[in-house]
Amino acid sequence: MFKISTESPTFDVVKWKLRLSDPWYQLVMKMLIQIAPDLSRKKILEVGCGIGGFSINAASRDAEVVGVDVAPKAINQAKNLAKQFGVHKKINFIIADAHYLPLKNDCMEIVICSETLEHVSDYKKAFSELVRTTQNSGYLLLTVPNLLSSLFFEYIILRLLGQPLYVKRHVCVEKEDIFHVFKLRQLLNRGDLRVMKIRSTNFFHVPPTVKSTFKIFQNLQVISDRIEDFFEAHDLPLRLMGANLGVLVRKRNSFFS
């Protein structure tokens, strides 16, 4: 969709992010299309936007976007990319902490938070901020890594060695919390939310460097997508054992049942 200059040393990462190639963003898009196939004039907030791949993609589809991240370097790069692709007037990128979003209550139609809650110091407080900024009858789309999956082994390695340098270079991800479907359901157990969908993706997770070295990403992705669709269609318990869990919830108001 986007043309990117190959002169930048971060060309591969930028290309990957702008194409929403990460499995978790692919899951977000699958859930998003159920509620908003047309993003025109939708007010969308992305918390943990990184270098802005999803936010720029949404703005290119005529959404009104606010992108928030705690990392100044990521936000600066996001602003530069938004200008490069001519969508900077439709996006407001903000440096802010997920625990204290500088936004009014009930101000966004759709709130996205993908692979971010595991990196904050108090994920419950950050989640409450996501709900607070979602308007009544609006939607919240969330993804988190799933420990009850093939991701377990990578989690152990990250705990021992820390995040790879190519990750630290772009975003602040020192913390790596544990998530699984039981913890996620507990987080969602609120009277002001109605869970519409919980599903997972990325059933054959391996670190990005391994995928790149052995050039196996495409094959693994195709197989994983087919397994995901099969499990989802047949509502099998294994459908929640992908490396990334995604949830779509709707915020209730006093008239919404």
Q: Are 108 and 66 in contact (CB under 8 A)?
A: yes
Helix, strand, or coil here: 150?
A: coil
Of the candidates 4, 7, 102, the residue with the CA atom closest to the CA atom of residue 51: 4
172 pLDDT more than 70 = no
Is residue 49 pLDDT above 90, yes or no? yes
pLDDT digits over 215-241, tens only?
666 777 788 888 998 999 898 888 999
pLDDT value of position 219:
75
Domain 11-251 sits in which CATH superfamily? Answer: Vaccinia Virus protein VP39 (3.40.50.150)
pLDDT at residue 257, as a whole number: 43
Can you give the residue ranges of every domain in the chain? 11-251
∠250-254-255 over CA atoms, to 5°?
80
Residue 92 has pLDDT above 80, yes or no: yes
Percent of the chain whose predicted confidence (pLDDT) is above 70: 82
The residue among 185 and 158 whose pLDDT is bigger is: 185
pLDDT of residue 122: 94
**Is the pLDDT confidence value at 79 over 80?**
yes
Residue 208 has pLDDT above 80, yes or no: no
Q: Mean pLDDT throughout 48-72?
A: 95
Q: Which residue has the higher pLDDT, 149 or 17?
A: 149
pLDDT(11) > 60: no
pTM of the model: 0.86
